[in-house]
Amino acid sequence: MNPSVTLPAPAKLNLCLHIVGRRPDGYHELQTAFQLLDYGDELTFSPRADTDIHLHPAIEGVPLKDNLIWRAAQLLRPRARAYTGVDITLRKRLPMGGGLGGGSSDAATTLLALNHLWDCQYSNKELQTVGLQLGADVPVFVAGHSAWAEGVGERLVPVDLPERWFLVVTPPTPVATGTIFCHKDLTRDTAPITVAAFLERGGKNDCQPLVRKLYPDVDKALIWLENFVSNATMSGTGASVFASFESEAEAREVQGKTPTDWSSFVARGVNLSPVHDRLFKA
């Protein structure tokens, strides 16, 4: 294993989230547009002299066996041809329960990094299949390109989206994804559309009306953002909400007015994942 390497774990936005049905196994059939951002968490992978895998720091409320970074490393360990112990240090910048894919992106960066550093020799497509065991959002981060997704989110078609600037605002109210997808009032019968139709007319977030009703802070954040833009929407199941701008300056001007008890960041939408750019173009 080479010396320490630090890699990004980018956020994603769901530019739309259509729920077009429910399968017999309880999973939902989705259509969504994943927009990758040039902002997110950061992970450092450092070799150890022994064979242990250590994760730093511990995440409050998440047992180690449930941590997606830890689970990703365990999935790759049997395949490693150049195995060594590793310290994995996480710099967490994305809010938990925000609908920005933070945990999934952390897992995907771990898969990409250790596949490379441990010489596991998985193809990217094979690594996406491994990632699906960890969560429906993991494959898009492994694939490394903004994409149109169907199924549970694993059937991906890369798309080139306009590289706009986004203001992302998160009220201090994590949303439980399971609660939303299990709720009896969730819309599950949106008519499917094509990629071309989305690129021409956009889409909606079927989870947003329900989340606004169950989580008043998310409703307040959307109302606040709608004072400045007409395209405010929620990412995934929330709690983060966002709007797009033509320039960084416009986004930062609105960010400067964000209520102090909400977190926020400004980021550029990108088509190629920053972790792919760093790992494979170095």
Positions marked catalytic: 12, 137
| Calpha distance 108→95 (Å, rounded) | 17
Q: How far apart are CA 88 and CA 90, in angstroms?
A: 7
Helix (H, G, I), strand (E, B) or coil at 251: helix
Q: Do the beta carbons of residue 131 and residue 35 sit within 8 Å?
A: no
Reference 10, options 143, 81, 105; nearest CA is 105
Q: Measured between alpha carbons, how far is 1 from 190 in angstroms, rounded to an integer? A: 48
80 class by beta-carbon count within 10 Å (0-12 exposed, 13-18 middle, 19+ buried) = middle
Report the candidate in 123, 112, 23 with the shortest Cα–Cα distance to residue 73: 112
CA distance 196 to 183: 31
- Rounded CA-CA distance 33/129 in Å is 20
* 172 membership: H or E segment, kind and range: none
Q: Determine the Cα–Cα distance for residues 207 and 205; give it in Å rounded to an integer.
A: 5
3-class secondary structure per residue, 109-162 = HHHHHHHHHCCCCCCHHHHHHHHHCCCCCHHHHHHCECEEEEECCCEEEECCCC
